């Protein structure tokens, strides 16, 4: 589901850091300490990937950034120009499940956040069509979700997250359920959108390969309670494309990140 959050938005116009989590912990009501202490700073326009073992708190971290959950301690700060000016939302979110309303067309699904924000009806159609063109779904505005492939559903979910023109895009394993060819294609389209739109992106994935392909910075988390164990800058030639997957540079980055992930899962490894 696409979401938006402005409750934790600060007024810090000049801040280069758009997302800043400091000493954040999250304990759920059942007593599970999911996260922390967790520190994360993401700069404007950065593409950051979070990788970590299953259950380490990646989704929890994203939900805290989105304002969909409150930290138990620590601070979550979001600096958003859009939310401050009232011209849009701070954050768009895409989850692994596209969660489209089955009874509404692609147009209806993508336009929903605008409708909920009381955007005038005359403005909604052109904005929906513009964002559908960006994600390659212009010809499917009238289609129902059941008529779409998995990749197309995800494109619609992406369009719904982008339609409010958020500063920050949060993606929680959005392509995990897709076949490899579709995933690779969506990876490339996401990179193109990121370059064109200049969004700040935080991308959660299980896949070391996907994280290295997409991100400028890969953060490796420890098992629960999740903390940042390691951080790697992926200094590849831009713009990245399929050829990058075949380079020795890509393989070397993947190896380093995979080793870090193995170390956090089993700290005795490599000793
Ligand atoms: N609403 C909740 N109530 C109680 N415990 C929760 C809740 N949500 C998550 N947890 C627990 O918190 C821990 C972290 O969960 P989270 O979903 O953030 O991890 P994750 O790294 O995203 O996992 P995965 O990679 O498997 O999706 C897990 O042990 C999970 O069972």
Set out the domains of the chain in order of their start, with CATH numbers: 9-99+168-265 (3.40.50.300)
Residue 59 Cα to ligand 1 midpoint, Å, equals 7
Provide the pLDDT for residue 5.
39
Give tens-digit pLDDT for 164-191. Answer: 999 999 999 999 999 999 999 999 999 9
- The alpha carbon of 95 and the centre of ligand 1 are apart by a number of angstroms equal to 14
Q: Is the CB of 30 under 6 A from ligand 1?
A: yes
Q: Is this complex scored with an ipTM above 0.90?
A: yes
Residue in 71, 70, 63, 38 with CA at minimum distance from that of residue 221: 38
* Residues contacting 29, CB < 8 A, separation 6+: none
Distance (angstroms) between ligand 1 centre and the Cα of 133 equals: 35
How many angstroms is it from 58 CA to the middle of ligand 1? Answer: 8
Is the minimum distance from the CB of 198 to ligand 1 under 6 angstroms? no
pLDDT on residue 80: 72
**Complete DSSP assignment for the chain:** ------TTEE--TT-SEEEEEEEEEEE-TTS-EEEEEEEEEEETT-EEEEE-STTSSHHHHHHHHHTSS--SEEEEEEE-HHHHHTSS-SEEEE-SS----TTS-HHHHHHHHHHHTT--HHHHHHHHHHHHHHTT-GGGTT--GGGS-HHHHHHHHHHHHHTT--SEEEEESTTTTS-HHHHHHHHHHHHHHHHHH--EEEEEES-HHHHHHH-SEEEEEPSSSB-EEEEEE----SS--HHHHTSHHHHHHHHHHHHHHHHHH-TTTT-
| Residue located nearest, by CA, to atom 1 of ligand 1 | 28
- Would you say the CB of residue 113 lies under 6 angstroms from ligand 1? no
* Pocket flag, ligand 1, residue 224 (CB < 6 Å): yes
Residue 205, ligand 1, Cβ within 6 A? no
CA of 56 to the centre of ligand 1 (A): 7
Closest CA to 91 of 4, 184, 205: 4
* Pairwise CA distance, residues 93 & 91, whole Å: 7
Residue with CA at minimum distance from ligand 1 atom 12: 34
- Ligand 1 atom nearest the C-alpha of 96 is 27
Q: So what's the pLDDT on residue 1?
A: 38
Q: How far is the CA of 34 from the centre of ligand 1 (A)?
A: 7
Question: Block means of pLDDT (10 residues each) for the chain, length 271 residues?
Answer: 43 68 96 94 96 94 94 92 60 92 97 94 96 95 97 97 95 95 95 94 96 97 95 92 94 97 76 51
Q: Using alpha carbons, select from 222, 190, 211, 197 the residue that is nearest to residue 254.
A: 211
Q: Is the CB of 60 under 6 A from ligand 1?
A: yes
Exposure of 150 by Cβ count < 10 A (0-12 exposed, 13-18 middle, 19+ buried)?
A: middle
Q: For ligand 1, is residue 55 a contact (CB within 6 Å)?
A: yes
Give the pLDDT score at 2: 40
Ligand 1 test: best mutation among 38, 53, 54, 55, most atoms within 8 Å of CB? Answer: 55
CA 196 / ligand 1 centre spacing (Å):
33
């Amino acid at each position: 589901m696409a979401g938006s959050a402005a409750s934790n938005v600060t007024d810090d116009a000049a801040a280069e850091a758009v997302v800043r989590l400091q000493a954040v912990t999250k304990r759920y009501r059942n007593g599970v300490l999911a996260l922390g202490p967790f520190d994360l700073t993401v700069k404007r326009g950065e593409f950051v990937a979070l990788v970590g073992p299953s259950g380490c708190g990646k989704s929890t971290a994203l939900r805290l950034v989105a304002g969909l959950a409150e930290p138990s301690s620590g601070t979550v700060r979001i600096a958003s120009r859009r939310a401050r000016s009232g011209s849009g939302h701070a954050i768009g979110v895409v989850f692994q499940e596209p969660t489209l309303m089955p009874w509404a067309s692609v147009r209806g699904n993508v336009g929903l956040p605008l409708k909920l924000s009381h955007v005038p009806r005359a403005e909604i159609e052109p904005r929906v069509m513009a964002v559908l063109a960006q994600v390659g779904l212009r010809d499917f505005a009238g289609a129902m979700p059941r008529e779409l492939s998995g990749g197309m559903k995800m494109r619609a979910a992406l369009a719904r997250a982008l339609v409010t023109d958020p500063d920050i895009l949060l993606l929680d394993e959005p392509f995990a359920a897709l076949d490899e060819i579709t995933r690779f294609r969506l990876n490339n389209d996401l990179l193109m959108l990121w370059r064109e739109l200049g969004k700040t992106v935080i991308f959660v994935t299980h896949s070391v390969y996907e994280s290295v392909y997409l991100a400028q910075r890969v953060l490796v988390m420890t098992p629960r309670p999740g903390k940042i164990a390691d951080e790697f800058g992926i200094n590849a030639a831009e713009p990245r494309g399929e050829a990058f997957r075949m380079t020795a540079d890509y393989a070397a980055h993947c190896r380093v990140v995979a080793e870090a992930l193995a170390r956090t899962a089993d700290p005795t490894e490599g000793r």
